[in-house]
Structure 1
Amino acid sequence: MLLERRIAPRRNTCIEATIAFGFTKVPCVVRNVSDSGAKLEVAKVTGIPDRFELVVPGHRPQPCRVAWRALKEMGVEYQSA
């Protein structure tokens, strides 16, 4: 049995969004969300900084910090604005 270590439960999603830093915008898909963070799918994680804004249509930009990275996925923790 796996022990759940997350602070908040995650909900599976498939939301097209954008990672924004400086003048750069990288498309991504939000694969799951919680009150404290999200898992993002991208074409590649290289070149994406540790801190950026997650832009989801219909919502205000959310400052994020990368918690972990894999080849085409990353986990982010929401930060205070």
Structure 2
Amino acid sequence: MDNHRVAPRHRVLKAGSIEFNGGVVDCTIRNISDTGAQLEVASQIGIPDNFWLVISGSHTPRHCRVAWRNDKRIGVAFD
């Protein structure tokens, strides 16, 4: 399943926030690599296909585009 990834993902459990058009949604980063991440959210309602991911403890937001969605998880690619 992971063979198609450009970079290996590392399991993490970090707090983050999804920021878009003045809106903010809290999330948990479940895994991350240089090219993307898997996010867990309470609800996907209102989360657009492109947004900024702010990782707690990091001062550099990452621009993301949604690669996939299911239930309460979102797979993103970093732009």
| Largest Rg, 1 or 2 | 1
Take 1:26 and 1:49, find their aligned partners in 2: how far apart are those partners? 11
Q: Which amino acid in the other structure matches residue 12 of structure 2?
A: T
CA deviation map 1:5-52 (0-9, x unaligned):
111100000000000001110000000001100000001122100000
**TM-score, normalization: structure 2?**
0.92
Query: Aligned residue pairs: how many?
Result: 78
Question: Structure 1 unaligned runs (5+)?
Answer: none
Which range moved further: 40-49 or 24-33? 40-49
**Is 1:39 aligned to residue 38 of structure 2?**
yes
* Percent of pairs with identical residues: 46
Tell me the C-alpha RMSD between the 2 structures: 1.2
Range that drifts further, 53-62 or 18-27:
53-62
Gap regions ≥5 residues in structure 2: none
Runs of 4+ aligned residues of structure 1 deviating over 2 Å after TM superposition are none
1:75 aligned partner: 75
Q: Matches of 1:14 and 1:6 in 2, distance apart?
A: 20
- Displacement of 1:3 after TM fit? 6.2
